[in-house]
Amino acid sequence: MKKLWILLTLLLGGIILISGCRKAPEIHYAMLGDSPQLTENSYTYGMYEGLKTFERSNPDTAVSYLESQSPEDYLANAEKLADDGNTLIWGMGGTTEDALLTSAGYNPDIRYIILDASDTQTVLPQNVNTIVFASEQAAFLAGYAAGTATQSNHVGFIGGMKIPAVERFEYGYRYGVEIAAKELGKNIQCDVLYTDSFSEAALGQKKATQLYQSGCDVLFPVAGTTGTGVIEAAITADKWVIGADIDQYENAPRVILTSVVKRTTNVVKYFTQRFHDGNLEGGTVIVRGLKEDAVGIPKENPNIDAHFPQLTERLDALSLEIKNGQRPIPATQGQYQSLSDAS
């Protein structure tokens, strides 16, 4: 019995010794947040989940997330992440983009990747990558759905700020409405307004209520928190609304027609792995769309299935045309005007 206890003690000691000697991860990657908290199911949550998913497959790497209390903190926080030894830092276009570009200038040996970046930045430092979502492609499908669903022949788009990333949604959506109207023999009015805010739900609800009362029966908000107010207005008015960035059906199952989804988790995981493996060239602008499964509409759209059963087949066909390069979709006003004039 005494020998058995000695043997068990030695085994336990060995396990503790091995555990104690296990090396901590030597590689550190991070994400710079643009708000005071990381909200579950938010756009930024999806990004960080991509990093965490990567981490689970790469035990030599530790990932972290740094919250920002205000925009004034972005640059200081980016520098803190650099000082903490992170060799890859992720951030978001439109909010942390400028701070990350500045930080990249100070830290040429650190790679910075900006997701959903402005596509106006075409010349980049060699330690920066920007990823642009071809959101107009998925927004086109949502616009076609709106054009099919409208009974009043009056739909609308509500943007937060008039910036290129939001305009991609606008022009893709408007073109989708236009093509649906042409194919279905409708004359559809599409109202467009910008709230100049991504953070005011009450403002979104007010503007949406006005549009619904003016005759719109489908709205598409791309306005962050302001857009949540639009969904509330849709619930009150019992009218259709289209979700943005994530599948928002669970938030309002009675009124969500479909959603335009950016698959941020997949994109962040994929490009983090590419960088980790030494296969991501710096200084490049990367565009990802339907073909790469980076954007789209949900595979399950209960309200389309229930109310417009023939629509799914048409949306699938249009999606295939876009993936094959047979149907160009506008991302800017100039492109929209050219395609609209030609259609």
Instruction: Please give the full DSSP string across 275-339, using - where no structure is assigned.
Output: HHTT---SSEEEEE-TTTTSEE--S--HHHHHH-TTHHHHHHHHHHHHHTTSS----SHHHHHHH
Task: Give backbone dihedrals phi and psi of 99, rounded to 5 degrees, phi first.
Answer: -65, -40
Q: Assign domain 136-258+297-342 to its CATH architecture.
A: 3-Layer(aba) Sandwich (3.40)
Helix and strand numbers (H, E) in the chain are: 12, 12
Task: Give backbone dihedrals phi and psi of 65, rounded to 5 degrees, phi first.
Answer: -130, 135
pLDDT at 97 over 60: yes
184 near 147, Cβ under 8 Å? Answer: yes
pLDDT at 117 over 50: yes
- pLDDT, mean of residues 86-102: 94
pLDDT in tens, 214-271: 999 999 999 988 999 999 999 999 999 999 999 999 999 999 999 999 999 999 999 9
Give the E-state strand segments of 198-283 in sequence order: 218-222, 240-245, 256-262
pLDDT at 285 over 90: yes
More confident residue, 29 or 1: 29
pLDDT at 39: 76
pLDDT band at 164 (very low <50, low <70, confident <90, very high): confident
pLDDT band at 119 (very low <50, low <70, confident <90, very high): low
| CATH annotation of 27-134+264-288 | 3.40.50.2300
- Indicate the pairing of strand 154-159 with strand 218-222: parallel
- Indicate the pairing of strand 111-115 with strand 295-296: unpaired
- CATH 3.40.50.2300 domain position(s) in the chain: 27-134+264-288, 136-258+297-342
Give the E-state strand segments of 10-153 in sequence order: 27-32, 61-66, 88-92, 111-115, 128-133
Q: Give the gyration radius of the chain's Cα atoms.
A: 23
More confident residue, 187 or 14: 187
Task: Give backbone dihedrals phi and psi of 120, rounded to 5 degrees, phi first.
Answer: -80, -15
Q: For residue 330, give both structure tokens.
A: 């506008």
pLDDT in tens, 46-77: 999 999 999 999 999 999 999 999 999 999 99
pTM: 0.85
The closest of 257, 237, 239, 238 to 247, measured between CA atoms, is 257
- pLDDT, mean of residues 23-40: 86
pLDDT at 120: 61
- Indicate the pairing of strand 295-296 with strand 256-262: antiparallel
